[in-house]
Amino acid sequence: MKPVCLVIGAGAGIGGNVGKLFAANGYHTVLCRRSDESGLKKLINDIEMAGNSASGFLMNAIEEEAIESRIASIEADIGPIEVVVYNLGAQIGDRSLADTSYKAFEMGWKMATFGLFRAASTICPAMVERGKGTFLVTSATSAVRGNAGQHSHAAAMGGRRMLCQSLNAEFAPKGIHVAHIIVDGAVDAPDTLGKMLGQEQFLKLRETKGMAHDGLMLPEKIAETYYHIAQQHRSVWTHELDMRSFSDLSWWNH
């Protein structure tokens, strides 16, 4: 039986590329995303055409019991989950305080923090029983630096970071590795950055900063770091790191 890697937030950027890399290295990858069934099927097809195995499900993670029931069914029907990649974004856009409704603020928290808490609450007992497990948690600059217009995102991602630290404090001694990964820059991903900017602006950005310029972070290269962390010996576990393009200032220099 292959080890299982569950990707929650498996778009065409970081999540999908992480899933592909784990599948190429002997994992059965389970890809979950909120929408775009055709995009999900393409990811699965790409993995299977390469001779590897994957399955996928549409899942709205903020719905009650969606995460819990999906994890339970994977454990029962596919196999023990060895790696969880929590890659849900929580960006609701640049909004002033006056333009951030209670509902919008809560939405960021539900995706960034509460969803991770629910996933950990569901799978950690099984991982503890097995004596091993890994959580790779995608985070953002907002986890360490708040900006105007980012009230929801900064609060949600800051909470995600603290939750990762608390999970590590409780579960690292029990064999569970939690890594909080700060993606400190723009990722060359059509269904995240592309949707935020719009197709025309996204293509212009790629032409001026991406492609041969290496100024946009390449999701397939980000995936290599995720896989490396998941294979670390416990004597040298990485609990937090940040990554960015060589051409960008680090978050603490802004």
The predicted pLDDT at position 194 comes to 65
Give residue-wise pLDDT tens across range 233-254.
999 999 999 999 998 889 888 7
Give residue-wise pLDDT tens across range 1-50.
899 999 999 999 999 999 999 999 999 999 999 999 999 999 999 999 99
Q: How are beta strands 133-140 and 176-183 bridged, if at all?
A: parallel
CB atoms within 10 A of CB 158: 18
pLDDT of 195 strictly over 80: no
210 pLDDT band, cuts 50/70/90, is confident
69 pLDDT band, cuts 50/70/90, is very high
Q: Calculate the average pLDDT of the chain.
A: 93
Q: What are the backbone angles phi and psi of residue 170, rounded to the nearest 5°? A: -85, -40
Between residues 166 and 202, the one the model is more confident about: 166
The predicted pLDDT at position 33 comes to 96
Which two tokens mark 192? 């995240």
Task: List domains and CATH numbers for the chain.
Answer: 4-188+219-243 (3.40.50.720)
198 pLDDT band, cuts 50/70/90, is confident
Question: Could you identify the residue written with the tokens 């640049």?
Answer: 94
**Cα within 13 Å of Cα(111), Cβ side:** 23
What is the distance between the alpha carbons of residues 216 and 57, in angstroms, rounded to a whole number? 29
Sheet of strand 4-8: strand arrangement = 53-58, 28-33, 4-8, 81-86, 133-140, 176-183, 240-243
92 pLDDT band, cuts 50/70/90, is confident
